[in-house]
Amino acid sequence: MARIISVANQKGGVGKTTTTVNLGACLAYFGKKILLVDIDAQGNATSGLGVRKSDVEKDIYDILVNETLVKDVVLPSSRENLWVVPATIQLAGAEIELTSQMARESRLKQALEKVKDDYDYILIDCPPSLGHLTINAFTASDSILIPVQCEYYALEGLSQLLNTVRLVQKHFNPELKIEGVLLTMLDARTNLGYEVVDEVKKYFRERVYKTIIPRNIRLSEAPSHGLSIIDYDARSRGAEVYLELAKEVLANG
C-alpha cells in the first residue's frame, strides 16, 4: 500500500515542485512505483515530467470537483515507474468551487484510496497556499515533507504551516506526521546559507534531512526539457543529492 507524502510550504519558489519531481523520479529509479499528484494550477510538476498539455484530457480538477476516477486521469511521465495526475489552469477555480461542496476536505483522500494499492509512494505537489487544495492534500497524506529555502526569513510562515497541520490532525487526519524538513538551494559560497541551516536544525532537530540540496543550475534547466534531473543529467550534483534524499526517504519506511 502506498505511503502518501505531501510536499508543502505556502511560500512560493522554495523548491516544492523540484523536490516532488526529482524525489519521485529517484524513488522510481530505485524500483518503486510512484504516482505524482499535481495540485498546483501552474502545472509545473506536470510539464516538468514531460506531460504535454495537449495530451491532458482530464486533470486533478475533475477528480476533486467532478469525482472522476484517478485511473481515468493518470498519464505516464518521461521516467519509467512514475505516473502523473496532471494539473492545468482549470484548477484555479477549484479553491472557490470546493468551498460550497460536501466533504470538501476529503475529496482527494477518497480518490486516492482507490489506487493506494497500485503504488509504493504517492507524492503530492502542493500549491503555495494553505487553502482547500492543501487541506485536501494533508487530509489524504500519511506525512508532509517541508522544503525550506536557505534564505533570509527561512522560518517565516512555518508556524502558520504547522498550525494548519495541527488543525488537520484535529479534525480530519489524526495520523498525519511530519515526514521531514528539507533544506534547499543552499549557496555554498555564502555564510548566510549555513546560518539558516543551523537555525532550521535548532528548530526542527532530527526531523531535518541529512541531505541538503545545493543550488545547481542543472536542476533549474531540467524542467524545460520535460525531464527529471536523473534523466537530464545523471552525473550532476543535483542528481546525486536527490538520489541521496530518496535513500533517506526509503530508510524512513
Residue numbers at the binding site for ligand ADP (CB under 6 A): 12-18, 44, 128, 184-185, 213, 215-216, 219-220, 223
215 binds, among Mg ion, ligand ADP, none (CB under 5 to 8 A by kind): ligand ADP
Q: Is 17 in the site for Mg ion (CB under 5 A)?
A: yes
Nearer to ligand ADP, 201 or 215 (CB): 215
Question: Does the footprint of Mg ion cover residue 16 (CB under 5 A)?
Answer: yes
Nearest CA-CA partner of 119 in 160, 74, 173, 63: 74
C-alpha cell at 233: 543529467
5 close to 144: Cβ distance less than 8 angstroms? yes
Nearer to ligand ADP, 15 or 180 (CB): 15
Minimum Å gap between C-beta 236 and ligand ADP is 10
Of the pair 20, 139, the CB lying nearest ligand ADP is at: 20
Of 46 and 115, nearer to ligand ADP (C-beta) is: 46
Q: Choose one: 10-18, 93-101, 104-112, 198-206; the region binding Mg ion (CB under 5 A).
A: 10-18
In this chain, which stretch among 43-51, 53-61, 62-70, 133-141 interacts with Mg ion, using CB under 5 A? 43-51
Tell me the closest approach of the beta carbon of residue 45 to ligand ADP, in angstroms: 8
- CB neighbour burial string for 159-178, b if at least 16 within 10 angstroms, e if fewer: eebeebbeebeeebbeebee
Cβ distance to Mg ion smaller for residue 17 or 143: 17
Judge contact between 97 and 66, C-beta under 8 A: no
Q: Give the CA count within 13 Å in the CB-facing half-sphere of 11.
A: 19
Smallest gap from Cβ 45 to Mg ion, in A, equals 7
Beta bridge partners of 184: 149
Which of the listed partners (Mg ion, ligand ADP, none) does 184 bind, with a CB threshold of 5 to 8 Å by partner kind? Answer: ligand ADP
What's the min distance (Å) between Cβ of 41 and ligand ADP? 12
Q: Which is nearer to ligand ADP, 95 or 97 (CB)?
A: 95
- Minimum distance, C-beta of residue 217 to ligand ADP, in the bound complex (Å): 6
Q: What sign does the dihedral 124-11-142-91 (CA atoms) show?
A: negative
Shortest distance (Å) from residue 24 CB to ligand ADP:
13
Total binding residues toward Mg ion, as defined by CB under 5 A: 3
The yes or no reply on residue 11 touching Mg ion (CB under 5 A) is no
Under a CB-based contact definition with an 8 Å cutoff, are residues 228 and 25 in contact?
yes
- The contact set with Mg ion (CB under 5 A) reads 16-17, 44
